[in-house]
Amino acid sequence: MISKNMENALNEQIVLEGYASQLYLSMASWCDAQGLEGCAQFMHRQSEEERMHMLKIFHYLSEVDAFAKAPGIDQPPHEFESIRALFEQVYHHEQKVTASIHKLLKIGYDENDHTTLNFLQWYVEEQREEEALMRTILDRIKLIGDGPQSLYYIDKEVQQVNAQAEAAEAAEE
C-alpha cells in the first residue's frame, strides 16, 4: 500500500500523461491537415505511447491497493504556428513530464516508498529517451529550415525517425 500523498501525486501524473496523449492526437490532426503524413503518423504513435504511460500508472495504483482516477482532460490546442513550433511544444511538454516524474521520485524517497521508486525507474529512462528524440527532431528541423519547401524534407526525416523507433520497439518485444 502507498501513502495518500503518493496516490494523489500519481493520479496527477495520470492527468499529465492523458493530456499528453490528447495533445499529440490533436497535433497529429494538424499535421495531417498540413499534408505532413510522416509527422501525423509520428504524433499518432506518440499519442498511443502516452496513453500507455497513463494506463501503466492507472494499473499500478490498483496493484498497490490505491484508487486510480480516470482523468478529466483539458482541451488541447488544435492550431500551431509551424511544424517547428509544434515540436518545440512537444519538447517543452516532455520536459514538464520529466519534472513531474522527478517530483514523484522525491516523494518516494521522502516516504521510503521503494515499491513506487522501483516502478518509476522505467519512467526515468523513458523520459530521457523522449527528450533526446524530440531534441533530435528539433535539431533536424533547424538544419533543414522550416520554410514551405523544407516541409517535405522535415516530414521525411520525422517519418524515418518514426520508422526507427517502431523497429526498436519491435526488437524489444
Output the known binding site: 17, 50, 53, 94, 127
Cell numbers 514538464 label which residue?
96
- Number of residues that this document lists for the chain: 173
CB 58, CB 7: distance < 8 Å: no
Question: Nearest-CA neighbor of 61 among 126, 16, 14?
Answer: 14
d(Cα 35, Cα 13) in Å, to the nearest integer? 33
Q: State the angle between helix axes of 37-63 and 151-172 in degrees (0 to 180), rounded to the nearest 10.
A: 40
The residue among 54, 69, 66 whose CA lies nearest residue 123 is 54
Q: Cα separation of 143 and 78, whole Å?
A: 26
Binding residues for Fe cation: 17, 50, 53, 94, 127
Placement of cell 499500478 in the chain: 60
Count of beta carbons in the 10 Å neighbourhood of residue 111: 14
